[in-house]
């Protein structure tokens, strides 16, 4: 079977025409394997995974109930991670109090789902095509 027409369109920085063809173990599978190994070696210790992605188990019913309530609040617009005005205003007060930095909560506070997301988005503000950048390893070169 031949490759789909778009296979040759993938950016060289993610593998080009070879993208998705490698038999190398993907980083998230390596993490899953490491977690299984640690749990097998130390079953008496709880493992708290603060990574983003699929949960290992369903959240407790009490948590799901509160999440449903929050999702249905108009200020969350069906999505509980937009950063309500009270949060943005509190963040602006914190920045002023702790660092002496005055920020407009409506225009200058960007709520993100986590630090990885924020740090991945931040360079887009400063990097132009053709600029040279440094990337951490491990990291997400997207």
Residue 110 makes CB contacts below 8 A (sequence gap 6+) with 83, 118
Eight-state DSSP code of residue 58:
P
Closest by CA position to 80, among listed 61, 66, 93: 66
Per-residue pLDDT tens digits for 15-70: 888 888 878 787 778 888 999 999 999 999 988 877 766 676 788 999 999 989 98
Distance of CA 105 to the CA centre of its chain: 22
Q: What is the pTM of this model?
A: 0.40
DSSP-based helix, strand, coil % in the chain, nearest 5: 45, 0, 55
């Amino acid at each position: 079977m031949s490759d789909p027409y778009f296979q040759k369109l993938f950016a060289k920085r993610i593998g080009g025409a070879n993208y998705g063809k490698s038999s190398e173990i993907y980083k998230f599978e390596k993490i899953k394997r490491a977690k299984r190994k640690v749990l097998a070696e130390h079953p008496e210790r709880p493992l708290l995974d603060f990574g983003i992605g699929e949960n290992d188990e369903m959240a407790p019913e009490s948590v799901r109930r509160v999440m449903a309530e929050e999702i249905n609040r108009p200020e969350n617009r069906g999505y509980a991670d937009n950063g309500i005005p009270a949060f943005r205003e509190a963040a602006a007060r914190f920045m002023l109090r702790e660092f002496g930095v005055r920020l407009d909560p409506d225009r200058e506070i960007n709520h993100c789902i986590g630090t990885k997301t924020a740090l991945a988005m931040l360079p887009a503000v400063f990097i132009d095509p053709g600029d040279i950048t440094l990337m951490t390893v491990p990291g997400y070169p997207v």
